[in-house]
Structure 1
Amino acid sequence: MHDEFATAQNLLAKWRLAAACLSHIPAGRLELALVCDIDPHHERAREVASLVTAPLRIIPQLRDCRIRLCKLPDAGLQQIAQDGVFQARRIAPPPYYSPKPSARTQATLVGLPRELRLRVLEYTDLIAPDREVTWSRQDKAYLTAARGDDLDRDNVRVFYHCWTSSSSSPSYLGCFCRRRHAAFSLACKCWAPPSPLFLVCRILCEDAQFTFFSRNRFIIHDYKTSRTWALPCFPEYSDEEVEPPEDSRYEYPGTRFAASQFFREVVPTHCLAHLRFLELVFPPYLAQTWPRGDDHPVLQDWQATIGWLLDKVNAPALTLRLAGVEVHYGSPPEYHNRISKSDAIDIATAHMDLTRPLRALGDIGLARFFAYFPCLWELVLARHQHYEWRPQLEAKQRQFKASFERVVLGDRYETQYANGREEPEPSFWAKAHQRI
């Protein structure tokens, strides 16, 4: 460990010499991208990070600066990167960037009535852009995306996947996304929940958690957020670097549903009652990929998870939606192959196996429940027959949807659409998926 630090010191000495050579460059002319991926678990990680950014003080004001100090997100290292960028750009950090609100600010907020504290917190990053937060087995982190019918593909990524946007860093400079790394760049607008607000004090932490979980809609993707139609059996069209073994390509890609992991491991147990809108999204798994049978561990875990949730969620205030991703023309050709009627029935049965345990939530007064799974008979028919069968398929889709919603709501299904009430608008992933 001592040898590692000695090596780091040698590199840092060379970096200081290089920075000294840059000290004669006119202010506002140079752009600098600084990457030094540090092990966040090293006992001297913060010290090394501070030494990495210190030479920026002797360089004249930079026109632009990007700093990455770790491949993985780390709050402490990211704060050092952020301070380094502001120092290099000679920019005074805005008050809301402060990692630790002052004692006076805390006392002022805590002294307000709770209703006013909650209104104040609604103007922080606790409310995601367009009030929509996603979580997936792929990302294992909260993220969001801009939404709107007038957004082009680059603008859609303003708050999400900044490294794919033409307005972000050139690809050869590397990725400086604060959601993916301990990095900071003024070009990164990716949204992330402001963890310092969760850590200030007990009262404000509780208020922040209530604001975050009750004011946002939560979309849980069972596999991937990006390329929502991706499947583990077609890795060449996914983000996976290693192709799975042939004998496991069609297995369900996990030991539990992502929603089960979200409920039990991601959301603090005492915050489950704050949730107001949940949407569980599943890709178009093939018939042999879905977990099947009452004795399947994934379905047993799902049943147990729903039972565990019953006394923890506020069902009469919660809206739940199940959704399946449709195959579209931008997806790989394998998705467009016809499937047998037997496979279609197996997939529909798997959808029902997923839905049936949710009846327990309906029995304790779940506010509203919506379901949308693609009409599988489209894949049974030849593609050139789709248009002539469209009216029949749409009618079958409505029946299909109603059958799932009746399973969960029972006799209350009729009142769900009473008095002109409609289903909540589609989430961003669905709107973006339909545009492609």
Structure 2
Amino acid sequence: MTLPISFFIALRYWRAKSADRFGRLVSNLASIGIMLGVCALIIVLSVMNGLENNQKQQVLATIPHAIISPLQGHIELSDSLPILPKEVQSAVAINSTDVILQSANAVSAGKVIGVQKETDDPLLLNFSASELQQLLPKGGFRVIISSQLAQQLKLQVGDKVRLMITENSQYTPFGRVPVQRLFTVSAVYFSPFENSTIFTELTDIGRLMRISTTQAEGYRLFLQDPFLITELSRSFPTEKWKIKDWRTQKGEFFQAVKMEKNMMGLLVSLMIIVAVSNIVTSLSLMVVDKQGEIAILQTQGLKHKQIQQIFIFQGLIVGAIGTLSGLLLGLILTLNLNHILTLINPYGIYLPIEINNVQIIMILVFSLLLSLLSTLYPAYRAAKTEPAVVLRYE
């Protein structure tokens, strides 16, 4: 295979042991810096992706991904489900509202979710179908609360707790008071991520919300990926449906996680930018060192464009070596990161890892593009060499 003359000369310059050892040292430092920058960026983004995905699976699994309800009226429980988009895994009828809980010893805030089956919420999967029917019978006005909430309100199974809905109120001789009713605690569930959700029978909470027993507030949607929540507006137009999603509860948390990931990526990217700047220095030194040879090549018939390509190719060789070495090292360290942490800390620290192929490609393109841009000025200076001036005293 015949190599372009510019690439061949650039390869010879890169392999040759130049008399300018400082220039060669700067070139090697550029490759090492790019390698370390790419490696660190892959590790940081993979860890941040894993942490974000882990939080998404654990935190968002216990709260409704989305609740859609008609703008006018309510849904009929006897009606069939609407046509669901591909992003939605399943849907169930739901009555949900914020409440104030009052026990004999304390007061707290919570969120009530009305359910019919144990599959209506992931937190209820530990209960069998028959067990849940006994715990939450229709018309029994019973609740299942979290262990944290039970401890805070000092409640046990069989105790009474008053639920007050501040959104709905009624007028009395004493003024306007919230709708309220006493419920019996029938069971306690444990969840490390959710401590304010309580469950009751669908129609029981519907009565407090002034919804008929044959109707419900709307549908609770379970998405394959909660981050696809923005796609729902295409299937459920806002002029017909009202959409409440997980962002009202956890949106700020995941926005902070995303911002932290972006800032970490930006800071580590600065390492690559600093390393790439060494390519400018090394090529500029080489242009000065090779002025005589550049002039001779021009007298032999090389055009200005070919002279530019020599130094562009050489800078790309340095950048490509550093980028590919950093890619290989980054993937190896990322895949074995938990084993390395085990050696450092025998007590064990587990970091969730998720390698995103799109991010890997973007890192490679970013590094190679910076390497290309760093060669433009030295290549331009080399092409501006005047053979008559350089060879005047040769």
Under TM normalisation by the shorter chain, which class is it? under 0.3
Return the structure number with greater helix share: 2
Return the structure number with greater strand share: 2
**Greater relative contact order structure (CA < 8 Å, 6+ sep):** 2
Tell which structure's C-alpha radius of gyration is larger.
2
TM-score by length of 2: 0.19
